[in-house]
Chains A and B, each alone.
Chain A
Amino acid sequence: MATYSIKELEDWNKKIEKLVQAAGLDCYEQHFEICSYEDMLCYEAYLGMPSRYPHWSFGKAYERQKSFYQKNLVGLPYELVINSDPCIAYLMQDNTLLTQILTMAHVYGHNDFFKNNRLFKRDTRASMEVDMFKTHANRIREYIQDPSIGPEKVERILNAAHGLTFQIRRHGSLKHSDQSESTEEVNHPIPERLKEDLLAYLAEKGNLTEWERDLVNIVREESIYFLPQIETKIMNEGWASYWHYQLLNTLGLPQGLHLEFLKRHNLVICPHLGRINPYFVGFKMFEYLDKQPGGREKIMAIRSEDRDQSFIRRHLNQELCAELHLFSYGIEGDNIVVTEISNEDGWKRVRDNFANSVGLGSIPIVQPLSVEKDTLVLEHIYDNRELELKYAQETLKYVVDLWGGKVELRTKLYSNATLIHCSEDKVVTVHNC
């Protein structure tokens, strides 16, 4: 049973909104939806979008999340907020009043971040996103219901496209270029504009029917929508946490609620030993930066300009590194071994390792390299981190599905140049070369 009324939430929200404005945050109109536990699970599985196309992977996400909650492995999220205009946030009805207040304040932080961060501005159109997902879902449902296509064929292409969902251009879409490029393209099997975008390449050059092509493009477009969130996880959560902390401290909470707030807040931003809690790192960094001279303007500029990688590289200094007890680790045999710690000697390397592993840095880059005798040759851009072989083999089969022929991947395994070959009938072989 809820321990609050909607009226109470509205009253607290009014106060929060005033503070938000006074602080100079710049938000979309905010919509809150109170929802049940089951709805929350559902929204989570579909990454917040109220309407998405059907695919078993969402069912899997739902079941997994549910079993995690039931085993108490993770707590339910108090909220879920999506990048849209108006900004939609879901609040779970079973939250306590204080949790709802804290969550609302937190949501305004995200809202401001969505509206002002460069990546979101560049790659998403907040006012149209919800409709885009709806349109996509409708189109895919039509394909599923089309007797000449049907669910199995749709699933096959979606499976394949999902396998490559992050193999897309990472730094914004290219401006549609002039004619000169297309003449050059004739001689080049891999046009410049598709070089860093395997999924777009396959959508265009793969042996696909119209509706198959459409499916791949749908997956790609939705992936583009999610990229800014992946690229700014630490900043976004840090920013929202920093603001809920600031706002609730000046909100004039009654003492009981204030204590609950501090407790709750500390749970949100506590470090996870041996891992990175983005709320913790982001919160600490913004808190530190805000205290510097000219801090407020500076953090406003940072939230507009940076992504996690540049945020860490530019603003994580030795003092912060040491305060957060950051360290790098490597794998030696079966052991996980500390390789660098945040002392005078090592902190820069800790920072750089960290910066390289956040956001899309956690996902290997695989690009189309050439086409040799109908075989599509892919290249893994090797950066001392090796691919998980089993996964690479299986993912190559997806590439074969979309390419419609043989595919080859050049990478390094155990420091040796390696070629993974996948035939048309999906027989995978691994060669040292």
Chain B
Amino acid sequence: MTGHAHTEAHAHPNYVKIWAILVVLLVVSVTGPMLGVRVVTLIAAFGIALVKAYLVAKNFMHLNVEKPVVHWALGVALTLMVLLYAGLAPDVQRSKGERWEKSAGFHYMSDAARGAMEHEGHGDKPAGH
């Protein structure tokens, strides 16, 4: 294939402008958590990460003009991630359920961390600690 055979007609957005928006979002994601407010930290860190990823996917990877088969393939992979989390999180993140309890050491938690959790009113203490 020679140099010009590949070209597909799609408009090129102002890439420098998009880069500038991404840099501004980066600054917000770094400075936002400095306020020390948990909700602000979550939004600044992870909410902005989602926005940045969307901008990169849409404008730099040109997913907005890509064929549906690509969207479907990416969607299936992302769905697998969600299923993985939904399937494993109850076991990984909890120390005990209705009919099970992790043995000592399985879910190690330092005394300081356990104290902090108990102080916050979490009743789900790790087994054996």
> Do A and B share a complex?
no
